[in-house]
Amino acid sequence: MVLLRSVLAAALLSASASADGVVGSAFGFASGTTGGGSAAAAAPADIKELKEWLTDSTPRVILIDKEFNFIGSEDTCTDCECCIPDSNTCGSKGQNAIKTDGSDWCGSYPTTKCTYDNAGIEGINVASDKSIVGVGSAGVIRGKGLRLVNGVTNIIIQNVHFTELNPQYIWGGDAITLDGTDKVWIDHVKVSKVGRQMIATGYKSSGGVTISNSEFDGQTSWSASCDGHHYWTVLGYGKGDKVTFANNYLHHTSGRSPKLEFNSHWHAYNNYWENNSGHAFDVGEGVNALIEGNVFSNVKTPMNPDSKPGLTFAASSNDTSSCTSALGRACVANKLTSSGTLSGSDESVLSSWPKGESGVKVMSIDNVPTYVKSNAGTGKIGNAGASGSASASVPAATSSATPSASASAHAKRHIGKRHH
């Protein structure tokens, strides 16, 4: 009976709190993000009003209190041009690729006809000062993603499930895109059944971002790796990105979990990778990655080798004390079970770590799987609080976002190919 009362109380907290707006406060590199602030929370009537509220200049707390289904709202592309990439060796169980305007990604691959939903191809351009908050477990945006681009700032996305963006097709749609933005907190989000990236940054800088308590569900009937696992997961391609990636659950993926490039800083802690048939981290040139307190279970390749690897410090039981002088605390070792190896011991990552990552708390590694699986994703926001529990913390500091130029032509060429 006591347990039942606790469960009911947590459920009521989740529904009532998110109905009032954002739960908890942004931490990590997104510290200070307030979204729509004290604006009165309101739920749009339909997809038309949702789009209007997302794109206007008014600070808003937008409640996603039901499913907003964009499929069919921008017509269907019937018998359109697609190609069959060499990754698709399994026919209808694999992913073909949409031939997009201005891109030569398909190159000399064989062509084929395909039918897809236009709404999923490009997301809605969200304006500054917005909180987008799901109510209980009801908040779903189907068939459309969000784009935070061209200098927008101060945005919170919390407790929303993004799903069904042309999952059959590469280039079918990204759930959340960040390109030239600052102060973004993505929390308790779930992403499933997308054609391309679940979250993507770049090419311009995303100066202060936290992605936390979120679920990246790679289970799919159309797999680029032909094994029911989604390949395109998280892509970090922004020059000058500063990202805190914490308490997330990534499962049934096969690559890019995440793939990182260019002059960026990523702090990944207390995440749980499970059932990854390919690689998790792919750390390319220019990246500084601090990886600690994570658990990898049944992950074939936790760290993919790169021909020009970036700088990585992946804490092991032998070097956790190396963090003390730079961060004021010991790092927490990562744990691998039925998985490959996790490499990276470059202490220059620590000595050059930027200021501005406030309120970081790294829990004991033994608590990670249970905590993350019970807390990450939608409809769970009352389970343990938005920012989680912890045992070791990083001292607070002030934030400074770094603007950047667009990526090079070389980057634009190799962003598409699966082997990158």
- What is the H or E stretch that residue 48 is in? helix 47-55
Of 404, 371, 400, 410, residue with least CA distance to 388: 371
256 is catalytic: yes
SS3 call for 360: coil
Which pair of tokens denotes residue 26? Answer: 């942004």
Of 152, 268, 137, residue with least CA distance to 212: 268
Question: How far apart are alpha carbons 197 and 417 in whole angstroms?
Answer: 13
Question: How far apart are alpha carbons 281 and 297 in whole angstroms?
Answer: 14
SS3 call for 20: helix
Whole-angstrom Cα Rg for the chain: 20
Contact of 195 with 95, CB cutoff 8 Å: yes
Question: How far apart are alpha carbons 147 and 155 in whole angstroms?
Answer: 11
Contact of 186 with 212, CB cutoff 8 Å: yes
Contact of 254 with 230, CB cutoff 8 Å: yes
Using CA atoms of 390, 394, 399, 401 in order, give the dihedral in degrees to the nearest 10: -80
Question: How far apart are alpha carbons 334 and 313 in whole angstroms?
Answer: 11
Contact of 250 with 278, CB cutoff 8 Å: no
From 256, 329, 413, 418, the catalytic residue: 256
Which neighbouring-strand residues pair with 249? 215, 272
SS3 call for 184: strand
Q: Which residues are catalytic?
A: 256
